[in-house]
Amino acid sequence: MTAHGLRARVVSVDLSPPADLSDARIQFVAGDAHDLSAALTHDLLASLPHPWLVSEDSAHTFEACTAVLRFFDNHLVVGDYIVIEDGVLSDMAERHYETYEHGPNRAVERFLSEHVDTYEIDGALCDFFGQNVTWNPNAWLRRAR
């Protein structure tokens, strides 16, 4: 972001944040995707200027993705983005990917069905290299209203 002249701040929530990284532009917060309100306080969120790009890349379960979508729905404004990472897991053949039970894609589908007038899939981002040639199929969501 700095290379593009953007003065952006990154806030990363992790169960076990790294202790050995020091960069004034990056803030690590201990927290769980299932309960973001404990980690992302009102004061912290109020200190972050919009527009936001929220990248949900935690457990890839339906429950975690849904919790993140619901939390940020209360904080995103028109023009902000949230991307739910790794919906492509549904297309991977190895058996261990079945444990995710299509979590990211199911969460996005349900969320969009509940917020039809609020969010739009940004096809320009999802389809930049071809239709859903991305790790995040139909999961680049822009707050539209």
Q: Which of 103, 34, 77, 32 is nearest to 111 (CA)?
A: 103
Distance between CA atoms of residues 44 and 65, nearest Å = 21
pTM of the model: 0.90
Question: What are the tens digits of pLDDT across the range 60-80?
Answer: 899 999 999 999 999 999 999
CATH number for 119 = 3.40.50.150
Number of domains in the chain: 1
Residue 100: is its pLDDT beyond 70?
Answer: no
Distance between CA atoms of residues 41 and 11, nearest Å = 12
Question: 130: alpha, beta or left, given left = phi > 0 and alpha = psi -120 to 50?
Answer: left
Task: For residue 106, give its domain range.
Answer: 2-143
Q: Residue 7: which pLDDT band, with cuts at 50, 70 and 90?
A: confident
Residue 35: is its pLDDT beyond 90?
Answer: yes
Residue 93: is its pLDDT beyond 80?
Answer: no
Long-range contacts of 113-116 (CB under 8 A, 24+ apart): 115/73
